[in-house]
């Protein structure tokens, strides 16, 4: 496109003539801004990924053991502990349920199937965590929703609180008194405040 031809100027597009070569400092600033911006989003993505990874159901197709199932079901004797941790010696409930679990493991069922069978037999309250279906799904979703809503609020509040970026200064700022500056630096060193704080 030669300088004589009209430029595709529209809203948001600078006129060709307005484009100036970017200085090296400007390029560095631009990169830093991009890194900071990317860094912020990286934190958000990391936070959400960590949380999502945690609430995504564990791979239940792995081979179940009495131990792994026993940690996910409650003992119904009233001890309010999981099957593996019932404090009662010779607990009748533990004695009844363990053979059932062992039989189902021997039949080759996976964790999900075994837990479902136990829930059908003894009730949903037997599971140490609510199943992720129906209304019970809200148990799993709401903490994550709360986290994201909280994050959104923080971002909104932080943006509303942001000082506007100053426009090009009309008057250059007064230089600081060198004696005052030296005294401040001395005080900071003495209190070990020369770092991030």
Partner 1 sequence: MNQLGSVGLVAALAFAAYAVVAGVVGGKLRSLRVVRSAERATLAFFAMVTVAVVALEYLILTNDFHNAYVAEHSNRDLLTFYKVAALWAGQEGSLLFWTWLLAIYSGLAVLLNRKKNRQLMPYVVAVLMGTGVFFSSLVLFVANPFQELSLASPAGVQPFTPPDGNGLNPLLQYHSMVIHPPMLYLGYVGMVVPFAFAMAALITRQLGDNWIRTTRRWTMVPWMLLGLGILLGGNWAYAVLGWGGYWGWDPVENASLLPWLSGTAFLHSVMIQEKRGMLKVWNVVLVITTFFLSIFGTFLTRSGIVSSVHAFAQSNIGPFFAVFLAIIVFFSLTLLFLRLDHLKSENKLDSLVSRESGFLFNNWILLALVFAVLWGTLFPLISKAVQNVSVTVGAPFFNKTAIPMGLLLLFLTGAGPLLAWRKTSFQSLKRNFLAPLIIAGASGAILLIAGVRLFYAWMTLVLSIFVGVCILGEFWKGARTRMKTAGENFAQALYNLTLRNTRRYGGYVVHLGIVLLFIGFAGLAFKTEAKGLMQEGDLLRVKSYLLRCDGLITGDTPNYEYTRALITVTKNGHAFTSMHPEKRFYKASQQPTSYVSIHPTLSEDLYVVLAGLDQDTGKAVIEVFVNPLVMWVWIGGVVVFLGTLLALVPSRVEREMAEIRRAQEVAVQASDAI
Give dist(CA 79, CA 94) in Å, integer.
11
- The residues in 91-120 that bind partner 1, with binding defined as CB under 8 A, are none
Minimum distance from CB of 58 to partner 1 (Å)?
9
Give dist(CA 117, CA 121) in Å, integer.
6
Judged by CB under 8 A, which stretch of 4-12, 99-107, 160-168, 171-179 contacts partner 1? Answer: 160-168
Name which of 7 and 68 has its Cβ closer to partner 1. 68
Please give the structure tokens belonging to residue 7. Answer: 């430029």
Q: How far does CA 122 lie from the centroid of its chain?
A: 35
Please give the structure tokens belonging to residue 62. Answer: 């792995």
121 binds partner 1 (CB under 8 A): no
Give dist(CA 184, CA 191) in Å, integer.
11
Residue 133 exposure: Cα atoms within 13 Å on the Cβ side: 3
Give dist(CA 105, CA 117) in Å, integer.
12
CA dist list (Å): 124 to 18, 65, 104, 127: 69, 20, 18, 6
Among 8, 12, 24, 135, interactor with partner 1 by CB under 8 A: 135
Among 45, 92, 154, 184, interactor with partner 1 by CB under 8 A: 154
Minimum distance from CB of 71 to partner 1 (Å)?
7
Among 92, 120, 129, 137, interactor with partner 1 by CB under 8 A: 129
- The residues in 59-88 that bind partner 1, with binding defined as CB under 8 A, are 67, 71-72, 74, 79-82, 84-85, 87
Residues whose CB is less than 8 angstroms from the CB of residue 79 and which lie 6 or more positions away in sequence, other chains included: 86, 87, 88, 91
Binding mask 20-59 for partner 1 (x = CB under 8 A): ------------x---x---x------x--xx-xxx----
CA dist list (Å): 12 to 8, 9, 165: 11, 8, 20
Residues lying near partner 1 in the complex (CB under 8 A): 32, 36, 40, 47, 50-51, 53-55, 67, 71-72, 74, 79-82, 84-85, 87, 89-90, 123-130, 134-136, 139-140, 142-144, 146-147, 150-151, 153-154, 157-158, 161-163, 186, 189-197
């Amino acid at each position: 496109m030669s300088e004589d031809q009209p430029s595709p100027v529209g809203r948001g597009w600078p006129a060709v003539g307005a484009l100036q070569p970017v200085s090296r400092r400007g390029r560095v600033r631009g990169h830093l801004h991009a890194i900071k911006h990317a860094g912020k989003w990286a934190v958000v993505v990391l936070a959400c990924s960590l949380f999502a990874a945690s609430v995504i159901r564990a791979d239940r197709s792995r081979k179940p053991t009495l131990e792994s199932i026993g940690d996910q079901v409650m003992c119904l004797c009233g001890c309010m502990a999981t099957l593996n941790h019932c404090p009662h010696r010779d607990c009748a409930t533990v004695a009844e349920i363990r053979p059932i679990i062992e039989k189902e493991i021997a039949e080759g069922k996976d964790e999900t199937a075994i837990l479902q069978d136990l829930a059908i037999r003894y009730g949903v309250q037997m599971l140490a965590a609510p199943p992720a279906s129906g209304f019970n799904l809200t148990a799993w979703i709401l903490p994550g929703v709360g986290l994201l809503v909280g994050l959104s609020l923080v971002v909104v509040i932080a943006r509303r609180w942001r000082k506007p970026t100053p426009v090009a200064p009309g008057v250059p700022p007064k230089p600081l008194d060198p004696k005052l500056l030296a005294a401040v630096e001395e005080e900071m060193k003495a209190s070990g405040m020369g770092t991030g704080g």
